[in-house]
Each structure stands twice: as structure tokens, then as C-alpha cells.
Amino acid sequence: MILSASRRTDIPALYGRWFLNRLGQGEVLAPDLYRAGGGVRLRFSPETVDCIVYWTKDPGPFLPLLPEAEALGYGRYRFSYTVTALGEEWEPGLSPLAERLRAFESISRRIGPGHIDWRFDPILLDGERTPGWYGERFSLLCERLAPLTRRCIFSFEDPYPHLRGRVPQAGREAMEETCARLAEAAGKHGLPLFTCAEAGDFSPWGIRHGACIDKEGAEATAGYPLQAKRHRGQRGACGCIESFDVGMYDTCVKGCAYCYATKSQKRARARFAAHDPHSPLLAGWPGEGEVWREKTAAALGMGQLALDTIINKEKRL
């Protein structure tokens, strides 16, 4: 199984100690998304978790905990690290950019550039943030981050219902010009570009469809082949493989104005205040009468024996 931590909130920034405790206990409660009163109780172990994917914009508080996670047997992990061109107007709760860039460098040095993806996401186009504006800022970020990763994934802001009227929607022409500017900057550094959940074809600029949790990257982190299927339930254009997300919506208090995962900052602050790092549940404690369906993680890996067989077969050929 691949553990996703998390598409729904910034666990490394806000809930690192809680997640470390979950790794130690080998158990986590994940509430149902669309109904109250329970969810899934996932039981797992280092033997059944092939890879952990940490999603974050601001991982500084979690970096000192990584050695503890590794000591528990969870040394197969990768980062999906978001660094945008947007500033405090859109991302008021993040640490200064210089600190976040240093954290990116620290992670890359620890696990290697092949295990940390740079997410340049989302792209918001309007009268101020033009394709040229993005091209200049992306180029400066490339100078710092391109040597520390093996790919950059980006997407344009999607019109989620709770964001309509709050974030601008880009036209096709502006999107294509932006892609051209990004591709020019990335090309100077030999950095491959991929889109995330974008239906449009940007291949004329050398940009390919990608996935934040892709099979090749997960296998590289796991160290063996994985029998993984496409993740059902994600957006139609999403190419991610299956994973189990341990987060909850409306729990991030960083305040990013474009956030798809936080509809209510008031609710997020209340849940953050109710958080207990010793609880099996991210926000608060499970209540009486709630129903938690048991689920046991199963490894997706073909195993070292299978890998050795493949290698030996290739040698014979």
C-alpha cells in the first residue's frame, strides 16, 4: 500500500508528531468523506507500506522527525513539495520562501533528487500574474530547485465551487503562452515538465501528462516493482496510482486563498484546536456510536524474490 500524507491537509507542516505516532501504532482512523459517524480503521506495518508520499508546502517542523520515522521502519518515502510563484497575498501562513527553499534542499540531500517532486501549483492567471510574470519567477525558482529534483509538476487553478469568484480562470491562449514560458525556463536547466490533472495537450512545448503519485516514482522509492492500478475516485484527468490518504479536509490553517481542500477556515481552526497527537483520528477523538470499518494494508510490491527473478531473467536474455 502507498500511504498518502496528504492531499487533504499539510501533515508535515501541522501534524507531523501525530503522523509519527500513527506510524508507531500501526493504525489510523480515516473518516468517510461524505457522511458522518465513522470511516475506515487502517492497520499497517513497515512490511505492508511500500511507500509514503508526503505532500507539503512548509515541511520545516517535520524534518527533525524524519529520522524517527525511518527508525520505525518507514524509510521508503518521497515528497511532493509545492513551491509556487505566489506571495503572502495568496499564501499568508507559510514560512518565508528562503526557509522553504532551504527545507527543499535539505530533503533532496537526504533522500536524493529522484524522490522529491517540485509542484508548481496552482497557476493563477490575471491582469497582474501574466504569462511573462510567471516565466520570470519560475525561471528564478528553477535556478535554485532544478538541481534538487528530477521533475516539476504544474497545473492551472480549477474552478472548484467554493472558489468561484475568488480565483481567476485562465483562457486557453494565456495557458499556452504560460506553458511556453515555463518550458523555456525549464529547458535551460534540463528539468522535465509534467501537468497534473490537465486535460489539455501541451506536448508542443515538450510538456507531458503526469501524476503526483506515479508508478515509476513509487517503484523507485519502494525499490521494487509494484502491482498498482489507477486510483479510482480521483478527477478524470488525474493519472495517480492507488493510495490511501490519511488526512482530513478542512484541517489546514495555513490560509492559502486558492486551497481546494479547505472550504472553511473557521472549521479548520476548530479542528486544529481539537487535534490531539495521541488520537488515532487527525481532528479530535472518535465518538460513541461511530462505526469504523476494519481494513488491513496489503503490500503492492512483487517482492524482492520476484525482482531477483526478473533481473536474472534479463541477464540470461
Tens of pLDDT, residue by residue over 52-70, are 999 999 999 999 999 999 9
Cis omega (within 30 of 0) for bond into 6: yes
The Cα-based distances of 58 to 94, 104, 147, 200, 217 in angstroms read 6, 9, 20, 29, 22
State the pLDDT at residue 253. 98
**Residue 149 to residue 192: CA distance in whole angstroms:** 10
E strand spans, the chain: 2-5, 27-31, 38-43, 51-56, 77-82, 116-123, 152-156, 193-196, 208-210, 244-245, 291-296
The Cα-based distances of 68 to 12, 20, 54, 290 in angstroms read 14, 8, 15, 32
Cell of 62: 517535520
Q: Encode pLDDT of 124-155 as tens digits.
A: 999 999 999 999 999 999 999 999 999 999 99
Task: Calculate what percentage of the chain has a pLDDT beyond 90.
Answer: 82
State the pLDDT at residue 142. 98
When pLDDT is cut at 50, 70 and 90, the band that residue 303 belongs to is low
**Residue 275 to residue 264: CA distance in whole angstroms:** 17
Q: Encode pLDDT of 207-227 as tens digits.
A: 999 999 999 999 999 999 999
**Residue 136 to residue 157: CA distance in whole angstroms:** 19
Among the listed residues 288, 253, 255, the one whose alpha carbon sits nearest the alpha carbon of residue 269: 253
**43 has pLDDT over 60:** yes
Lowest mean pLDDT among 25-39, 235-249, 271-285: 235-249
